[in-house]
């Protein structure tokens, strides 16, 4: 198969813009892994427009897909976890070409998961977790149990991914298999939600109580990135936090995350006078131990 596909990528390997080439072959027991293609060819380049370019091929009775993806796009997907299938391809794919060991080092980094990357990824998952829990509880309190169920289900996924990252592993597509081995108590909550004989209202009520402890115990690690930024100044306006380039990755959930941290006494508001009598600017500052 490699001999047949070599003409699709060989010319590109002589170009300085090409960093690496990876082949991902179909699994017999999981054809969805390669989206029903027999092989995926992934070419990583320094620069390209658009950042993702795809071609489909046929050879005999078999199908192949060629992806040309920029280095910047790969880094974004790795950081945000927004394209998990692609991350699986990177992790499990066979290296056909590797300029200056770029692909080898990237795979090594995925296995070792550097601490800085973990902090931002934990912040992303934790902020999404708090958003889902907050909205889910609001739906529950208003008697909208199916909507609450949907949010609780998503919150457990974020909690599971957070636990995997916290333990120094990269969350894979099969995250529940990882969680079952790493954090069985979270897996048990997931099972309870899906299989319990209790009615939906009771199931949700118990899940909120049980998950509160698991979330609270992870607050310091989950919010470590935001808390470290808050320590850089005496106080911050909300807009200045939004403008911070690293917070941009979870800016959409920043408001609800700050409110949670205030509620749990990690952060406090600081009132600054305005020209309007009795009206204050609301600033945010860390609560020192």
Give the structural domain span for 41: 2-111
Counting residues of the chain whose pLDDT is more than 90, the rounded percentage is 58
Judge if 68 and 209 occupy the same domain: no
Judge if 77 and 212 occupy the same domain: no
Q: Are strands 52-59 and 39-45 parallel, antiparallel or unpaired?
A: unpaired
Judge if 169 and 234 occupy the same domain: yes
C-alpha 143/C-alpha 157 separation (Å) is 23
Which of 111, 139, 162 is the C-terminal boundary of a domain?
111
Helical ranges in 102-251 per DSSP H: 102-112, 115-141, 145-166, 175-182, 184-195, 200-216, 219-222, 224-230, 238-243
Which of 69, 84, 111 is the C-terminal boundary of a domain?
111
Residue 283 within a domain: no
C-alpha 192/C-alpha 184 separation (Å) is 12
Judge if 207 and 87 occupy the same domain: no
- Whether 179 has a pLDDT exceeding 80, the answer reads yes
Residue 285 within a domain: no
275 band by pLDDT with thresholds 50, 70 and 90:
confident
Judge if 124 and 260 occupy the same domain: yes
Judge if 217 and 264 occupy the same domain: yes
Residue 281 within a domain: no
Judge if 94 and 186 occupy the same domain: no
Judge if 210 and 74 occupy the same domain: no
- pLDDT at position 163: 92
Q: What is the pTM of this model?
A: 0.74
Judge if 260 and 159 occupy the same domain: yes
> What sign results for the dihedral spanned by CA atoms 140, 144, 145, 147?
negative
Give the length of the chain. 289
Judge if 255 and 122 occupy the same domain: yes
Place of tokens 């977790």: 129
Q: What is the pLDDT of residues 63-111, one digit of tens each?
A: 999 999 999 999 888 877 778 788 888 888 999 999 999 999 888 877 7
Which of 111, 128, 148 is the C-terminal boundary of a domain?
111
Q: How many domains does the chain have?
A: 2
User: Which CATH number is 11's domain given?
Assistant: 3.30.460.10
Residue 90 within a domain: yes
- Cβ neighbors of 211 (< 8 A, separation 6 or more) are 133, 152, 155, 156, 159, 189
Q: What is the pLDDT of residues 238-270, one digit of tens each?
A: 999 999 988 988 999 999 999 999 999 999 999
Judge if 23 and 92 occupy the same domain: yes
What radius of gyration, in Å, describes the C-alpha atoms of the chain?
23
Residue 248 within a domain: yes
Judge if 217 and 105 occupy the same domain: no
- Whether 35 has a pLDDT exceeding 90, the answer reads no
Contact 45, 66 (CB under 8 A): no
Residue 27's nearest CA partner among 120, 93, 84 is: 93
Q: What is the mean pLDDT of residues 203-232?
A: 92
User: Which CATH number is 189's domain given?
Assistant: 1.20.120.330
- Whether 173 has a pLDDT exceeding 80, the answer reads no
Residue 12, burial from CB neighbour count under 10 angstroms (0-12, 13-18, 19+): middle
């Amino acid at each position: 198969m490699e001999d047949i596909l070599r003409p699709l990528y060989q010319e590109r390997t002589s170009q300085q813009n090409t960093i690496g080439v990876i082949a991902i072959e179909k699994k017999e027991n999981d054809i969805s892994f390669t989206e029903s293609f027999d092989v995926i060819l992934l070419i990583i380049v320094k620069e390209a427009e658009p950042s993702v370019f795809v071609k489909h091929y046929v050879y005999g009775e078999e199908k192949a897909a060629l992806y040309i993806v920029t280095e910047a796009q790969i880094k974004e997907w790795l950081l945000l976890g927004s394209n998990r299938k692609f991350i699986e391809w990177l992790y499990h794919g066979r290296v056909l070409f590797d300029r200056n060991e770029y692909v080898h080092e990237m795979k090594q980094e995925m296995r070792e998961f550097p601490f800085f990357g973990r902090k931002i990824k934990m912040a992303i998952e934790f902020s999404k977790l708090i958003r889902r829990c907050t909205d889910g509880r609001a739906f529950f309190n208003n008697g909208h149990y199916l909507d609450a169920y949907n949010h609780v289900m998503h919150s457990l996924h974020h909690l599971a991914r957070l636990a995997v990252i916290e333990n120094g592993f990269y969350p894979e597509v099969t995250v529940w298999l990882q969680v079952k081995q790493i954090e069985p108590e979270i897996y048990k909550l997931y099972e309870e939600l899906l299989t319990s004989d209790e009615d939906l209202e009771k199931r949700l009520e118990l899940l909120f109580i049980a998950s509160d402890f698991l979330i609270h115990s992870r607050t310091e690690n989950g919010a470590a990135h935001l808390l470290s930024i808050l320590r850089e100044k005496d106080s911050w306006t909300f807009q200045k936090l939004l403008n911070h380039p690293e917070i941009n990755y979870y800016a959409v959930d920043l408001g609800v995350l700050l409110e949670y941290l205030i509620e749990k006494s990690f952060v406090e508001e600081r009132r600054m006078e305005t020209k309007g009598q009795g009206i204050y600017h609301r600033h945010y500052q860390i609560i020192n131990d």
